Amino acid sequence: MKEAVRPLITAEDIARRVGEIAADISRDYEGKTVTLICILKGGVIFMVDLCRKLTVPVEFDFIDTSSYGDATVSSGVVKIERDLKNPIMGKDVILVEDIIDTGLTLSHLYKHLIAHNPASLKVCSLLIKKDRWVVRDINPDYVGFEIPNEFVVGYGLDYAQKYRNLDYVGVLEFLEG
């Protein structure tokens, strides 16, 4: 089977929305330092673009989870592959997510991070698929785009480690032939 990517969100729309989210965060955290925790690997490009537009001091760390493998749907089992390197106790933390699909990863990580006693914990996601949410105990505080229930790639999101380098978000389609 061949793969094709149908554009869904342009690079220009992403850049505009990332700037708007950064302005909101900068306003909300004025006079404070914000700690961004990026979920690897998909959230890296979003976090980098976001932190470069923030006007408040920024620290960041990374956490790595797995629930997809090389599939196009979540397995439903969230596993932490790499935990934080730095303590977040007493810090204002924003969990930076590439996409909220079922909500399972978000719920799992939110509980994991809240156990580390941050001063505050908010969630920022580039994309959300509300139609797919299974776990609705956490709502993101900052959202880029709500998208339909399609498998997307680009701007950090991948399929079998491919397509992360696209500067836009597109729907992955499988073609005969």
162 within a domain of the structure (yes/no): no
157 within a domain of the structure (yes/no): no
5 within a domain of the structure (yes/no): no
How many C-beta atoms surround the C-beta of residue 54 within 10 A?
17
| Residue 102 clears pLDDT 90, i.e. is over it | no
How many C-beta atoms surround the C-beta of residue 159 within 10 A?
19
pLDDT grade, residue 177 (50/70/90)?
Answer: low
The stretch 94-98 carries a mean pLDDT of: 96
Task: Note the pLDDT tens digit of each residue in 45-62.
Answer: 999 999 999 999 999 999
Question: What's the mean pLDDT when you consider all of the chain?
Answer: 92
pLDDT at res. 32: 98
Rounded to 5°, the CA angle 134-156-39 comes to 55
The stretch 109-132 carries a mean pLDDT of: 95
Structural domain containing residue 119: 11-149
Domains in the chain: how many in total? Answer: 1
97 within a domain of the structure (yes/no): yes
Structure tokens at 53: 């537009």
173 within a domain of the structure (yes/no): no
The stretch 89-110 carries a mean pLDDT of: 93
Q: Is 101 a catalytic residue?
A: yes
73 within a domain of the structure (yes/no): yes
| Residue 12 clears pLDDT 80, i.e. is over it | yes
Q: Which of 13, 101, 131, 137 is catalytic?
A: 101
| CATH code of 127's domain | 3.40.50.2020
pLDDT at res. 67: 63
Calculate helix-pair angle for 11-28, 44-53, nearest 10 degrees.
Answer: 60
Q: Return d(Cα 19, Cα 67) in angstroms, integer.
A: 29
Q: How distant, in Å, are the alpha carbons of 5, 8, 64 from that of 2?
A: 10, 19, 29
Task: Note the pLDDT tens digit of each residue in 149-169.
Answer: 999 999 999 999 999 999 999
Q: Return d(Cα 56, Cα 172) in angstroms, integer.
A: 36
Percent with pLDDT over 90 in the chain: 75
Residue of 112, 105, 91, 101 whose CA lies nearest to 29: 91
pLDDT at res. 73: 54
The stretch 89-118 carries a mean pLDDT of: 94
Lowest mean pLDDT among 46-55, 67-76, 81-90, 99-108: 67-76
Q: Return d(Cα 93, Cα 100) in angstroms, integer.
A: 18
142 within a domain of the structure (yes/no): yes
Residue of 8, 46, 43, 12 whose CA lies nearest to 171: 8
176 within a domain of the structure (yes/no): no
